[in-house]
Amino acid sequence: MKRLRAILVDDEQLALTRLRHTLDEVGGVEVVAATTRAREALAMIGDVRPDLVFLDIAMPGLTGFDIVERLAGDTMPAVIFVTAFDSHAVRAFGVDAVDYLLKPVAPDRLAMAIGRARTWLSGRAIHAGPGPDPAPDSQAPIESLWTHRHREVLRVRIDDIEWVEAHGDYVRLHTNDGRGGLVRMTLSALEVQLDDALFIRVHRSAICRRTAIAGLRRKTTGALAAAMASGVEAPVGRKFSGGLRQLIKRVDTPTASETGFP
């Protein structure tokens, strides 16, 4: 697995040292620079173009939020806030932070945040389109996703996902046990990472697990819906109905005129 290049930013040198040691313990991250000065951090990020920045919030001169606001879109790394205060969590996710860690950071919690950063970076790369030399495994099916739910970050296994719903630049995972949650990734970005033998796009805003589709019905409005095994319904778009037709096709299947299914 590729190591993520990271910059550490905290106005306390001891905090930087502790975070570096914990990162060494967790693995998967190469610390390419570290600084206790916020303005120096801005220059570093622009010059080094790291994958990931671990960023304190309460710093003299510029706060962590000030730094994020000054980052241009094409230089925006995955940002993980590391702070001693829990009062900024909501705002942190509002500026598209990957995660929010409280000091002192436990190794298992840090590993979770790094996993979220990988998902965030993967989704952004796919959304931006193929580069000149894409990684050979950049579109390999994934096994799990880190989701944001309330003030928790949870791992959701792909095997537990029943269907996925688009929410702008996010997707909402619907699982059999109702845990689910939001992931910072577009539906199209996620689609290319899912095994198409297991999942099928049924709408511009929905992807369903093939085996979780229990039936199809036409609503009074004329729109189609996929009835899921859990009892909920996912929307079905006309342009995606062909794939569903193949999914439910049987030798003795009634004709389209008999079912009302296009």
Cα–Cα distance for residue pair 141/214, rounded to 1 Å = 24
Please, what are the domains in the chain?
Answer: 4-128 (3.40.50.2300), 144-259 (2.40.50.1020)
Looking at 14-28, 204-218, 241-255, which range is the least confident one? 241-255
**Is residue 201 scored above 80 in pLDDT?**
yes
pLDDT in tens, 101-131: 999 899 999 998 898 888 888 776 654 554 4
Give whole-number Cα distances, 15 to 19, 79, 102, 193, in Å. 6, 17, 12, 36
pLDDT in tens, 35-93: 999 999 988 988 889 999 999 998 988 888 898 888 756 558 999 999 988 777 667 66
Cα–Cα distance for residue pair 92/95, rounded to 1 Å = 6
pTM confidence score = 0.52
Angle at 72 between CA 66 and CA 75, to 5 degrees: 110
